[in-house]
Amino acid sequence: MKIFSARALMLCAMIISAMVAMPMQAQRYTWIKTVTGPSFDESFSMAIAPNGDLHVVGVFSDSLNVSGMTIQALGNYDIFTARYNAKGQPINADAHGSFDVDEATSIVVDNKGNYYFGGSFIDQAVVAGELVEGIDATSMDMFVAKLDRFGIVQWIKVFGSPTYDEGAPYIAVDSTGNVYVAGGVGGTGQFGTKTYKAVGKLDAFVAKLNSTGDFQWVVGAGSSDNDMAKGISVSPTGDRVYSVGTFIGQVTFGNATFDSYTGLADFFVRALNATGQPLWAKRLGWSGIDDQIACNSLQDGRLLITGSMKQTMNFDKQTLKAAGEFGTDFFVTRMSKEGEFELLKNYGSTFDERGTCITGDAKGNMFVGGWYDSTTVIGTYADDSRGGNDGFIARILSNGEVDWVRTYGGPYDDGTRSIAVDAKNIPYVTGTYDTYAYFDDEKIMGDRFDDVFIAALDCGPSTLLNPRASAIQICEGQDTLIQVRFGYPSYEWYQNNEKISLTGYKYNTSALKQGTYTVYCRIKGFDDCIKNTDTVTITVKPGLQLPLITRSGDELTCSVDLVNYQWYREGQPIKGATSRTVKIAGDGFYRVLISDTAGCNRWSDNFLVGTTDVADLIDGTTISVYPNPTTGSITLQGAYGAELVLTDMVGRIVARVETAHDLQPLTIDGPVGVYSLTINAGGNTRTLLITKQ
């Protein structure tokens, strides 16, 4: 009897269940606020004050409704700053600008609660209620403003070139209140009493101001074309001043001279010391144009970078290859203070993903924001956009493993612009959406065109529950796994609101009797934050009897008749073994999966043939485990270089080896029973079952 019809029926049942289920994602949004206006409104940067207040900067036109507070533009496109408390309640909002187009890209807060924002304007502008004059009435100049924690202006500094237009600068601040600005400057730039003469059109510059707003130094680099710093970050002590950006052609950064690949725009990363002296520089790029890059610093002074990459991208002497031939991935790298790449990974699908912002927490975990087109694949997470580009927020652990991913969006283009994490490891994000957008099942409305959102997420572990459904229906005895993300410090499972004995990341339904059950897991994350997953309702209907396996000579037989069969050896299906009996094809554990036309299925227990388990990897390597059964110790032969994970039947890790030797001993530190040994080698995974007697 063939198995195909039963599988088809089972698939249909799964599809129907998915159609009535609500999708679940990793972290919940605890609150979402909107900043809307009748024209195009955008946020660009967010920072957190020591008391937990959130500061946001962006641009708007006409008027702006900041979560109930209304501000009016002074001219064409103006700058807005807004402050919220940690609960999402708006505190104040202000407009800054001139009669022409104004720009803003960055806002930062120091350890005393003073905040700084930068922008650019033409001729004259009102900044924090004060009138400021440009260097030249006909060109766009830059400014940086310092306000105390009460919003009172401390100083405003204007800088730039009288002959070139400069965009808004990027800003950083160290623990003693020194301020650092970066961007592009042309001609002869005026920075207080300091000057810098550009090599070409625009040069990438970095400048330092002391806590009273006096320029200490300015450093630049450029070619005959346009070169621009697109991000700046500083270590808390100020001993490392990092900048990232783009350059075209040949540029000298201190003692390092680079030529961009194929003469198009490439990325640079450079580090200066506290006095502006060059320490090191790196070139990143592919054969096309590089444009999106952002950076931030960890508390220990190491550098985090994200951005977009395409095809094969060079990172100094290392390379990454994008998932698709034509789409962009986003990359994440962590660099030491000496300029070494400690972590280098990319994430994405065959479509476009772009990283636009990055930050880190106290333990070195990273939060990345950006947008994706059509379909995204970030680690094991996959999702489709709801229209145009959708936004994402991802938490990536310090080893580069994806912890969780959040997505949001509507029918048009949406994206994350900035992420900040507070002392309690709560992430906050800001970005843009067009017309309306969905954040889980919450729909936020805009005024028209692009508007701004500000949101807070849960702290802690991924709350994603697989399968991603609010309700599932199974047959009694059906071996269905409900699981959460592997590797967190602790798990507690609750069934019908009562704690049960399971403490692993998997919940197995095979022991459930007929009836209805509610199940969720309580997880403790790496940052000691504890969260519950969403609840899944399980309805158990009558099922199949437990199949038993008997042996006669070289043949195994299933006790249940008139059903569909699929035989397995060592966790892998045996090709063509879809009858009630199967020929023994070597030593190992055998199981049979039976199913019927009602969509029910049930596994037999393991039936051991011989005493040695053998698995063949795709490359032909033979792996052996002996003795099996065992009294407590086993030896694995032939898995050189593989990762080994030994778990008990409830998913708890008993032993783990990151890189196995050719003869690798393992000790099963647990009670008698069946254990699962997962072997990961060269992208291939095999599972062996081990019995401890």
How far apart, in Å, are the Cα atoms of 624 and each of 365, 586, 588, 636, 653? 38, 12, 10, 6, 21
Q: For residue 156, name the pLDDT band (cuts at 50, 70, 90).
A: very high
Question: Are 142 and 165 spatial neighbours (Cβ–Cβ below 8 Å)?
Answer: no
On the question of pLDDT at 64 being above 60, the answer is yes
Say whether the peptide bond before residue 411 is cis (omega within 30 degrees of 0): no
Q: Does pLDDT of 21 surpass 70?
A: no
Does the structure show a pLDDT above 60 at 18? no
For 194, left (φ over 0), alpha (ψ -120 to 50), or beta? beta
The string of pLDDT tens digits covering residues 223-256 is 999 999 999 999 999 999 999 999 999 999 999 9
Can you tell me the mean pLDDT for 14-31? 50
3-state secondary structure of 642: coil
Task: Give the DSSP letter of residue 262.
Answer: G
Decide if 330 contacts 294 (C-beta within 8 A).
no
- The yes-or-no verdict on residue 15 having pLDDT over 70 is no
* Alpha carbons 596 and 628: distance in angstroms, whole number: 33
Instruction: Tell me the pLDDT tens digit for each residue of 296-353.
Output: 999 999 999 999 999 999 999 999 999 988 999 999 999 999 999 999 999 999 999 9
pLDDT in tens, 83-140: 999 999 999 999 999 999 999 999 999 999 999 999 999 999 999 999 999 999 999 9
pLDDT of residue 473: 92
**Where residue 446 falls among pLDDT bands split at 50, 70, 90?**
very high
Model pTM score: 0.79
**Percent of the chain clearing pLDDT 90 (strictly above):** 71
pLDDT tens per residue, range 345-384? 999 999 999 999 999 998 899 999 999 999 999 988 888 9
- Domains in the chain: boundaries: 123-290, 479-536, 611-692
Closest CA to 462 of 424, 405, 505: 405
Report the pLDDT value the prediction gives residue 291, as an integer from 0 to 100: 93
Residue 272, pLDDT > 90, answer yes
Which among 280, 228, 227 has a CA at the least distance from the CA of 254?
280
Nearest CA to 373 among 315, 332, 414, 406?
A: 414
Q: Does domain 611-692 have CATH number 3.40.640.10?
A: no
* Cβ partners under 8 Å of residue 2, min gap 6: 564, 578
What pLDDT is recorded for position 528?
A: 82
Q: What is the pLDDT of residue 27?
A: 62
**Could you give the CA distance from residue 220 to residue 228 in angstroms, rounded to a whole number?**
10
